[in-house]
């Protein structure tokens, strides 16, 4: 599978170059700014989009069909996208972690939660997008998959809105974020693993 990862690495360097520049610029800005939640989160969110974009490029160049003629299983073809996404997210978390550690406790986010919880929040934020979108893309293809993903996000947002209205603000405020963060992380790992398995299942059954 190293061939697939190398191909995705080449593509990330070429096609997602702008993402990388933006990410580096935002990390630098997060270093300079005292209230830098947006600058810290945005690069990680961009990294989450890398596997989604690579799949779009694969379909446009018809690599999706050609790769099916190479000695790779469908599971490997799916896994390469999840792995390249994780590698990019890991690199971004390391870069953000080092920057924030160097900057010390001067940012609001760092002061509020500390380095490790902050990185865990970033991990959740960067992995949730590919975890939800990739199964749609592997099932329906890049174009239809993106539409299905947007519909899914709209439904989720509506459900969250209705949920908070029913439960009430007081309950939400009573939740201690530091306590539920590990639970959210475990849930995100499970969602990511489930997404991976689901994508393999969908892609194995998809006609190319």
Partner 1 sequence: MNALEINQLSKSFPHFTLGPLNLALPSGCIMGLVGENGAGKSTTFKLILNMLRSDSGTISILGKDNRENLRMVQEDIGVVLDEVGLPECLNAKEVSAIMRRTFRNWNNAEYIRLLDRLSLPENKPFKDFSRGMKMKLGIAIALSHGSKLLLLDEATSGLDPVVRDEISEMFLDFTRSEDHSILISSHIVSDLEKLCDIIAFLHNGKLLLCEEKDRLLAEYALAHCTLEQLNALPAEAVRCAKTSPYGAEAMVLRHAVPAGIALSPISIEELFVFMAKEAKEQ
Residues 67-96 binding partner 1 (CB under 8 A) are 67-73
DSSP three-state, residue 114: coil
Residue 10: CB minimum distance to partner 1, A = 6
Please state, in angstroms and rounded to a whole number, the distance separating the CA atoms of residues 32 and 28.
7
DSSP state of 26: H
Which of 77, 22, 24 shows the shortest CA–CA distance to 55?
Answer: 77
x-marked contacts with partner 1 along 92-131 as a string, rule CB under 8 A: ----------------------------------------
Output 20 or 44, the one with its CB closest to partner 1.
20
Output 2 or 179, the one with its CB closest to partner 1.
2
Chain centroid, CA 66 distance in Å: 26
Among 39, 42, 62, 171, binds partner 1 (CB under 8 A): 62
Residue 150: CB minimum distance to partner 1, A = 26
Residues 172-191 binding partner 1 (CB under 8 A) are none
Provide DSSP, 145-180. HHHHHHHHHHHHHHHHHHHHHHH-HHHHHHS-HHHH
Q: Does 61 bind partner 1 (CB under 8 A)?
A: yes
Output 10 or 38, the one with its CB closest to partner 1.
10
Q: Does 63 bind partner 1 (CB under 8 A)?
A: yes
Q: Does 139 bind partner 1 (CB under 8 A)?
A: no
DSSP state of 2: H
Please state, in angstroms and rounded to a whole number, the distance separating the CA atoms of residues 47 and 52.
10
Q: Does 18 bind partner 1 (CB under 8 A)?
A: no
If one counts every other C-beta atom within 10 angstroms of the C-beta of residue 194, the result is 12
Residues 149-168 binding partner 1 (CB under 8 A) are none
Sign of CA dihedral 110, 113, 114, 120: negative
Output 58 or 188, the one with its CB closest to partner 1.
58
Please state, in angstroms and rounded to a whole number, the distance separating the CA atoms of residues 126 and 115.
16
Output 101 or 208, the one with its CB closest to partner 1.
208
Binding residues (CB under 8 A) for partner 1: these are 2-4, 6-7, 10-11, 14-15, 57-58, 61-73, 207-208
């Amino acid at each position: 599978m190293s061939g697939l990862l190398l191909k995705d690495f080449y593509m990330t360097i070429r096609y997602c170059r702008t993402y990388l520049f933006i990410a580096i610029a935002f990390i630098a800005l997060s270093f300079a700014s005292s209230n830098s939640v947006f600058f810290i989160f945005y690069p990680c969110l961009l990294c989450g989009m890398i596997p989604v974009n690579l799949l779009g490029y694969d379909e446009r160049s018809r690599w999706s069909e050609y790769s099916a003629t190479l000695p790779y299983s469908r599971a490997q073809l799916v896994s390469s996208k999840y792995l390249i996404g994780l590698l990019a997210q890991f690199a971004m978390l390391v870069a953000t972690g080092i920057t924030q550690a160097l900057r010390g406790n001067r940012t609001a986010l760092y002061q509020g939660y500390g380095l490790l919880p902050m990185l865990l929040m970033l991990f959740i934020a960067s992995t949730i997008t590919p975890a939800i979108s990739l199964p749609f893309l592997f099932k329906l293809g890049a174009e239809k998959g993106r539409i299905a993903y947007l519909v899914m996000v709209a439904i989720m947002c509506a459900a969250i809105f209705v949920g908070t209205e029913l439960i009430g603000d007081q309950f939400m405020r009573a939740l201690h974020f530091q306590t539920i963060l590990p639970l959210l992380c475990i849930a995100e790992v499970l969602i990511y693993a489930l997404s991976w398995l689901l994508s393999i299942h969908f892609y194995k059954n998809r006609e190319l």
